[in-house]
A and B are shown apart, each in its own frame.
Chain A
Amino acid sequence: MTALELVSRLTELIYVLIFLLVVWTAVRRRTRTSVDIALFFGAIAAFIVESRIVTTLGLQQVELVNDVVTILVIAMPYLLLRLVDDFSTVPLIASRLAEAGLIFAAIGFLATTGQPPTPIVVVIVVYFAALALYCAVKFIRAARLSSGVTRRRLESVAAGTLLLGLTIFVAGLSPLLPWAAGLLDGLVQVLALGSAVAYVVGFAPPPILRRAWQEPELRAFLSHAASLPRLPDTASIVRALQDGAGSTLGARATIGLYDREANKLRFQDSHGVLPNEIGPSDYLVWRAFEAQHPRYYPDAARAHPALAESYREHGVRSLLIAPISAAAERLGALEAYTDHEPVFSEDDLDLVRLLADQAAVILESRSLIDEAARVRALEEAARLKEDFISAAAHDLKTPLTTLVAQAQFLERRAVNEPAAPADLTGIRRIVLEARRLSALVVELLDASRLEQGKLVGEREPVDLVELARDVARRESYQGRRITVSADVPVVGSYDPRRIGQVIENLVENAVKYSPDESEVRVAIAERDGQVLIDVTDQGIGIPAGDLPRIFERFHRAANVDDRRFAGMGLGLFICKGIVEQHGGRIWVESRVGAGSTFHVVLPLGAPSETPTPGGPA
Chain B
Amino acid sequence: MVDDDPSIVAVITDILSAEGHEVVSAENGQEALAKVNGEALVLLDMRMPVLDGWGFASRFRASGKRSPIIVMTAAENARRWAEEIGADGYLAKPFEIDALIAAVERHATRPH
Given contacts A397-B93, A433-B7, A562-B49, contact A405 B12 (CB under 8 A): yes
Whether the pair B4, A562 counts as a contact (CB closer than 8 A) is yes
Asked if A390 lies at the interface with its beta carbon under 8 angstroms from chain B, I say yes
Asked if A561 lies at the interface with its beta carbon under 8 angstroms from chain B, I say yes
Closest to B28 in A: A563
A37 CB to nearest B CB, Å = 83
A563 partner, pick from B4, B14, B76, beta carbons under 8 A? B4
Closest to A390 in B: B76
Given contacts A390-B76, A394-B74, contact A402 B96 (CB under 8 A): no
In the assembled complex, the Cα of A426 lies from the Cα of B93 at a distance in Å of 19
B31 CB to nearest A CB, Å = 11
In the assembled complex, the Cα of A181 lies from the Cα of B36 at a distance in Å of 118
In the assembled complex, the Cα of A569 lies from the Cα of B12 at a distance in Å of 26
Asked if A49 lies at the interface with its beta carbon under 8 angstroms from chain B, I say no
Asked if A276 lies at the interface with its beta carbon under 8 angstroms from chain B, I say no
Asked if B27 lies at the interface with its beta carbon under 8 angstroms from chain A, I say yes
Closest to A566 in B: B5
Given contacts A393-B76, A398-B74, A401-B95, contact A406 B4 (CB under 8 A): no
Asked if B34 lies at the interface with its beta carbon under 8 angstroms from chain A, I say no
Whether the pair A429, B10 counts as a contact (CB closer than 8 A) is yes
B96 partner, pick from A398, A404, A560, A561, beta carbons under 8 A? A404
Q: Which of A249-304 contact B (CB under 8 A)?
A: none
Range of interface residues on B (Cβ < 8 Å): 20 to 34
Given contacts A426-B14, A561-B49, A563-B27, contact A404 B94 (CB under 8 A): yes
Asked if B97 lies at the interface with its beta carbon under 8 angstroms from chain A, I say yes
Whether the pair B11, A405 counts as a contact (CB closer than 8 A) is yes
Closest to A558 in B: B49
In the assembled complex, the Cα of A395 lies from the Cα of B76 at a distance in Å of 12
Asked if B100 lies at the interface with its beta carbon under 8 angstroms from chain A, I say yes
Instruction: Mark interface residues in B40-54 (1 if CB within 8 Å of A CB, else 0).
Output: 000000011100000
Residues of chain B with a CB closer than 8 A to A393's CB: 74, 76
B48 CB to nearest A CB, Å = 8
A444 CB to nearest B CB, Å = 15
B74 partner, pick from A401, A433, A560, beta carbons under 8 A? A401
Residues of chain A with a CB closer than 8 A to B7's CB: 399, 402, 429, 432-433
Whether the pair B4, A402 counts as a contact (CB closer than 8 A) is no
Instruction: Mark interface residues in A389-423 (1 if CB within 8 Å of B CB, else 0).
Output: 01001110111111111101100110000000000
In the assembled complex, the Cα of A398 lies from the Cα of B45 at a distance in Å of 11
Given contacts A398-B93, A400-B94, A404-B95, contact A409 B4 (CB under 8 A): no
Asked if B15 lies at the interface with its beta carbon under 8 angstroms from chain A, I say yes
Whether the pair B8, A401 counts as a contact (CB closer than 8 A) is yes
A489 CB to nearest B CB, Å = 43
Given A403-B94, A560-B49, A562-B5, 7 other A-B contacts at CB below 8 A?
Answer: A398-B93, A401-B93, A402-B8, A405-B12, A408-B96, A409-B18, A413-B18
For this complex, 20 residue pairs linking A to B, each with C-beta atoms less than 8 Å apart, are A393-B76, A394-B75, A395-B74, A397-B74, A397-B93, A398-B5, A399-B7, A401-B5, A402-B10, A403-B94, A405-B15, A408-B97, A413-B18, A426-B11, A426-B14, A562-B4, A562-B5, A563-B5, A563-B6, A563-B49
Q: What is the interface of chain B, defined by CB distance below 8 A to chain A?
A: 4-8, 10-12, 14-15, 18, 27, 47-49, 74-76, 93-98, 100
Q: What is the interface of chain A, defined by CB distance below 8 A to chain B?
A: 390, 393-395, 397-406, 408-409, 412-413, 425-426, 429, 432-433, 560-563
